[in-house]
């Protein structure tokens, strides 16, 4: 916790004449409470000021041993005194001297001795401004510390989400993925698992909003899908899975959050893929370079208790590939305006060789994203970037052998 800002004016006078010090003390005392200290030896001014912590310094110019003008840059170079206002209090009325003083960092200039009302008014004005600056700095430091703490928590949450994702898979169906959490952490989760020896479930969902709340909701929905809480006959039916999720994650009970989802079940004996989507971008079924979008069949999960979910079917062939993804893959701001969009993403997938396609997508989308932010092409890494995204990037590949 930071120290509270002192609300009392603290005045330090640096003047070699004791009689001036006493006169200033009396002038200040007549105008209200403040803390006052004077120092006659200018060589001790910095040390005493650092210990006293004044809210304003009254500085004489002509002093034996060290000129007051030469003290100004020393104040401004001092870690704790650099922002303390310095009022030159001197007998010199010379405009050139005034200009020199302001050039070296003086905050104000008075010819001594001014009227007590004016002197106190100047002291209070500069002290108030200095305390306000200290308060702004303290608020900024607290905000920066809070942001750093939040960033740390978001990074921990992102690492936690990543740790829950299913590892790459080999066998009758091979699976791999790329996941890049955005800086504020979105609500993307995805997974795949064998329900039994013949049926593979695969899904991707995206919770509305960014931050730890959407991420936790996504994890909760993912756990419901793969934890065994649903009956086997439910898991085999995309429609029933979405209906169970809709019943369990009503936005009225989850702080207005909802999510989109694409859920499919592959039967390796019949080679049939059944799927349903709730407001999610289509998945891409690729046969060679041919791309067939498999679109959502209903609206988002959690927005309405009345939730009808049609199911679609398609028969797969050996060598087919299925790509599930979130909108963070294609909703990229382009250079000159507009969004890259799912259609351009489909065109890119169609034109890209099969091998290494996941990393090729990261390279291309990184290029689009960075160019949209005005980054020169020469400064864009050839391998793409894995940080700084506006939304979670989730891309899953299933290969059917």
pLDDT digits (tens, 9 = 90+) for 278-323: 999 999 999 998 999 999 999 999 999 999 999 999 999 999 999 9
CA distances to 217, 307, 323, 331 from 341, in Å: 26, 28, 16, 6
pLDDT at residue 6 in the model: 61
Mean pLDDT of 228-244: 93
Residue 5's pLDDT band (boundaries 50, 70, 90)?
A: low
**CATH 3.40.50.2300 domain extents, the chain:** 10-138
pLDDT at residue 113 is higher than 60: yes
The sheet carrying 312-315 orders its strands as: 187-194, 199-207, 259-267, 272-278, 312-315
pLDDT at residue 368 is higher than 90: yes
pLDDT at residue 281 in the model: 97
Percent of the chain with pLDDT over 90: 68
- pLDDT tens figures, 312-331: 999 999 999 999 999 999 99
pLDDT at residue 2 in the model: 43
pLDDT at residue 51 is higher than 90: yes
pLDDT at residue 145 in the model: 81
Q: Quick one: CA dihedral 371, 376, 382, 383, positive or negative?
A: negative
Residue 99's pLDDT band (boundaries 50, 70, 90)?
A: very high
Percent of the chain with pLDDT over 70: 97
- pLDDT tens figures, 218-227: 999 999 998 8
Distance, CA of 92 to chain centre: 53
Residue 137's pLDDT band (boundaries 50, 70, 90)?
A: confident
Residue 1's pLDDT band (boundaries 50, 70, 90)?
A: very low
Q: Which of 32-36, 244-248, 259-263 comes out lowest in average pLDDT?
A: 32-36
Q: Which comes out higher in pLDDT, residue 217 or 31? A: 217
Cα 366 from Cα 87, distance rounded (Å): 55
Longest C-alpha distance within the chain, in Å? 104
What's the mean pLDDT when you consider all of the chain? 91
Q: Which one is the CATH code of 10-138: 3.40.50.2300, 2.170.120.20, 3.40.50.2000, 1.20.120.1200?
A: 3.40.50.2300
pLDDT at residue 251 in the model: 92
Q: Please tell me whether the peptide bond between 113 and the residue prior to it is cis, using omega within 30 degrees of 0.
A: yes
- Encoded tokens for 97: 């001297």
CA distances to 150, 190, 208, 365 from 195, in Å: 38, 15, 28, 33
CATH of domain 165-400: 3.60.40.10
**CATH 3.60.40.10 domain extents, the chain:** 165-400
């Amino acid at each position: 916790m930071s120290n509270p800002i002192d609300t009392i004016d603290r005045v330090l006078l640096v003047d070699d004449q004791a009689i001036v010090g006493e006169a200033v003390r009396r002038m200040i005392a007549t105008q209200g409470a403040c803390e006052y200290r004077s120092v006659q030896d200018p060589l001790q001014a910095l040390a005493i000021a650092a210990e006293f912590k004044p809210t304003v310094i009254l500085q004489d110019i002509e002093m034996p041993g060290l000129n007051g003008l030469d003290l100004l840059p020393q104040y401004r170079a001092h870690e704790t005194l650099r922002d303390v206002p310095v009022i030159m209090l001197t007998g010199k009325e010379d405009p050139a001297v005034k200009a020199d003083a302001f050039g070296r960092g003086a905050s104000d200039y008075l010819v001594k001795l001014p009227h007590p009302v004016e002197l106190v008014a100047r002291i209070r004005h500069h002290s108030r401004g200095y305390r306000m600056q200290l308060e702004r700095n303290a608020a900024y430091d607290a905000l920066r510390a809070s942001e750093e703490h939040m960033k740390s928590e978001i990074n921990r949450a992102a690492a936690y989400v990543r740790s829950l994702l299913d590892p790459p898979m080999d066998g009758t169906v091979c699976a791999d993925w790329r996941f890049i959490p955005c800086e504020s952490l979105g609500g993307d989760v995805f997974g795949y698992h064998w329900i039994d020896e013949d049926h593979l479930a695969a899904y991707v969902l995206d919770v509305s909003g960014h931050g730890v709340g959407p991420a936790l909701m996504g994890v909760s929905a993912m756990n419901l899908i793969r934890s065994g809480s649903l009956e086997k006959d439910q898991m085999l039916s995309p429609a029933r899975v979405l209906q169970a999720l809709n019943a369990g994650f009503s936005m009225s009970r989850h702080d207005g959050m909802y999510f989109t989802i694409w859920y499919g079940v592959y039967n390796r004996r019949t080679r049939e893929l059944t799927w349903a989507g709730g407001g999610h971008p289509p998945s891409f079924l690729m046969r060679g370079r041919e791309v067939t979008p498999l679109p959502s069949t209903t609206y988002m999960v959690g927005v309405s208790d009345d939730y009808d979910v049609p199911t679609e079917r398609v028969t797969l062939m050996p060598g087919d590939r299925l790509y599930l993804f979130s909108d963070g893959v294609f909703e990229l701001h382009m250079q000159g305006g507009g969004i890259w969009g799912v259609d351009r993403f489909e065109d890119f997938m169609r034109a890209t060789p099969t091998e290494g396609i996941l990393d090729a997508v990261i390279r291309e989308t990184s290029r689009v994203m960075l160019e949209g932010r005005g980054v020169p092409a020469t400064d864009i890494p050839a391998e793409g970037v894995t940080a700084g995204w506006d939304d979670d990037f989730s891309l899953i590949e299933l290969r059917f052998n």
